[in-house]
């Protein structure tokens, strides 16, 4: 594997699956996770998981060659650091749905976090422009405005709207080389009425890296590697339940066939051009109150 290293932060270097995968894995590992699962529950999950695997192997009469290919592929996913990518694309949507149903959650719909969230992005005022490069300004601007409220529609001042998304080439800062650290990442703090007006760029669809094991997996069964263009958001306010979600664009490519199965009809924006040719859209977030899990 040849590793490209960016000589300086402004050089454009093509990202590799190996590079972005390992960055996502390093980020995930930096925060050692735990769950308070009982031994009984762990045993029940483990038993059903192995039974599901055994059933698939049996139903399809999986051969030794196929078993060895699976083993090699799982080793490759680890070596390319692509477990965060593969899991978030193919499994997280189910966990997300369980999460919201279990909590009996009202308010704006959630969606998956994906592998590219980074906490503590720079704070920005309620009316702001996202950190971006000159080349990002050549893309169509997106003016995204709205209000964070509680379930009764009361504005929540000081709410934090964390926004992160890919650039026009589909690349995320901190996971592709040659992009400034906080490009297209920010934490917008709402005004006293909970409002915000954010100028950013219209993101592009995202293609799963083709040159790594997640790409090979998709290719092996004739799937497509695309996610529709999307904005990632995490909206928080003290005393309210945080929400992690994504927003999509009406009529955009792959909206109906997201490889990550993370589109919901309530999360589709329909921006309209203003006199200057910027796309403008209003979308608000309603937060439920905090309940015990
Ligand atoms: C993404 O940008 C993303 O949002 C998800 C869920 C998976 C891979 C890339
Ligand atoms: Fe994404």
Quick one: pLDDT at residue 29?
Answer: 85
Closest ligand 1 atom, residue 166 Cα: 2
CA pair distance 274, 278, nearest whole angstrom: 5
Separation of CA 12 and ligand 1 centre (Å) = 21
Q: Which of 84, 115, 165, 233 to mutate to test the pocket of ligand 1 (most atoms within 8 A of CB)?
A: 115
Residue 227 CB–ligand 1 contact under 6 Å: yes
The Cβ of residue 22 has, within 10 Å, a number of other Cβ atoms equal to 18
| pLDDT reported for residue 102 | 85
CB atoms within 10 A of CB 267: 20
pLDDT under 70: residue ranges of the chain:
1-14, 292-293
Task: Check pocket membership of 88 for ligand 1, CB cut-off 6 A.
Answer: yes
Structure tokens at 205: 């669809």
Instruction: Write down the pLDDT at residue 6.
Output: 39
Q: How many residues does the chain have?
A: 293
Give the global pTM: 0.93
- Give the dihedral of Cα atoms 284, 289, 292, 293; nearest 10 deg: -10
Question: Which atom of ligand 1 is found nearest the CA of 262?
Answer: 6
pLDDT at 13: 59
Cβ of residue 116 lying under 6 Å from some atom of ligand 1: yes
Secondary structure element (H or E) that encloses residue 197, with its range: strand 195-201
């Amino acid at each position: 594997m040849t590793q490209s290293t960016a000589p300086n932060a402004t050089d454009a270097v093509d990202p590799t699956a190996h590079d972005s995968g390992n960055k996502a894995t390093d980020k995930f590992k930096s925060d050692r996770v735990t769950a308070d699962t009982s031994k009984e529950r762990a045993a029940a999950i483990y038993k059903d998981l192995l039974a599901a695997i055994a059933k698939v192997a049996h139903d399809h009469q999986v051969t030794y060659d196929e078993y060895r290919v699976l083993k090699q592929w799982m080793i490759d996913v680890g070596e390319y650091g692509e477990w965060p990518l593969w899991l978030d694309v193919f499994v997280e949507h189910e966990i997300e749905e369980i999460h919201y149903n279990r909590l009996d959650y009202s308010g704006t719909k959630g969606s998956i976090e994906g592998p590219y969230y980074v906490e503590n992005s720079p704070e920005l005022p309620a009316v702001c422009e996202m950190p971006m490069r000159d080349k990002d300004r050549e893309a169509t601007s997106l003016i995204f405005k709205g209000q964070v409220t509680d379930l009764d529609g009361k504005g929540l001042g000081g709410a934090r709207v964390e926004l992160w998304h890919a650039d026009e080439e589909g690349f995320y800062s901190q996971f592709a080389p040659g992009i400034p650290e906080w490009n297209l990442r920010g934490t917008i703090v709402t005004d006293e009425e909970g409002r915000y007006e954010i100028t950013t760029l219209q993101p592009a669809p995202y293609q799963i890296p083709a040159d790594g094991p997640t790409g090979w997996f998709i290719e092996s069964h004739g799937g497509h590697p695309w996610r529709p263009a999307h904005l990632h958001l995490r909206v928080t306010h003290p005393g309210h339940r945080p929400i992690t979600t994504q927003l999509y664009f009406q009529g955009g490519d792959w909206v109906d066939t997201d490889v990550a199965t993370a589109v919901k009809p309530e999360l589709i924006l329909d921006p309209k051009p203003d006199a200057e040719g910027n796309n403008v859209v209003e979308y608000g977030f309603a937060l439920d109150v905090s309940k015990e899990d």
